[in-house]
Structure 1
């Protein structure tokens, strides 16, 4: 259903420094970049959804929409924890620490961040399991 998602940035190189390690953790690589835009996805599948950060094409300043968010489906709670830490280390800001959100369903584990431009992102796993501590 989704072909691609695009978010605006005021500083494309800063966006690349933020998104390169985040996308690597979820198995996405940088597919394309020029002075206007960078994209991440799968180089071997040009029909798979991609994520873009770009300078707005109309030349106006990038702005963030309240209520807009891109959610990335992730394989486990452990990966979400690492994504959250990576986002924080790369200039992101916290919008919801990693944890279970039982109000959204059993096993729903998520973290919410904003990139350095203020775009809101979610990292979600629908079937995360509690990690048992060793006895």
Structure 2
């Protein structure tokens, strides 16, 4: 249903370094960027190699706030081994094979890695 999601971040370079590392474990890479230090309108797009962006982070230094409780983004993991941060484990209340973990980005956005299949 979704084409992509965008998140506002207060420091584009710090957030890009975080997302580069966090998403690499799931097989996602930086597919484009528009980082120009000292300028506004900067952004970075992430997706699968050879594809378009599914997540964009956009520099919004003024008034940046993460959404409140209940909001998070969940990223598909290729296997259980890729879900390795934030106390990974089965979440049987979501399904028999729902294996997930959470991390929080530098601006407080909650991110989940999910592998939902029998191995």
The TM-score normalised by the length of structure 1 is: 0.74
Q: Does 1:44 align with 2:47?
A: no
The gaps in structure 1 that reach 5 residues or longer are 85-93, 130-135
The gaps in structure 2 that reach 5 residues or longer are 36-41
Task: Spell out structure 1 runs of 4+ moving beyond 4 A.
Answer: none
| Aligned length in residues | 112
1:4-83 matches, within 5 Å, as 4-35=4-35, 36-42=42-48, 44-46=50-52, 50-56=54-60, 60-66=62-68, 67-81=70-84
Aligned-pair Cα RMSD in Å: 1.8
Contact 1:5 1:52 in 2 (8 A): yes
Q: Secondary structure at the match of 1:45?
A: coil
The TM-score normalised by the length of structure 2 is: 0.83
Shift in Å, 1:3: 1.0
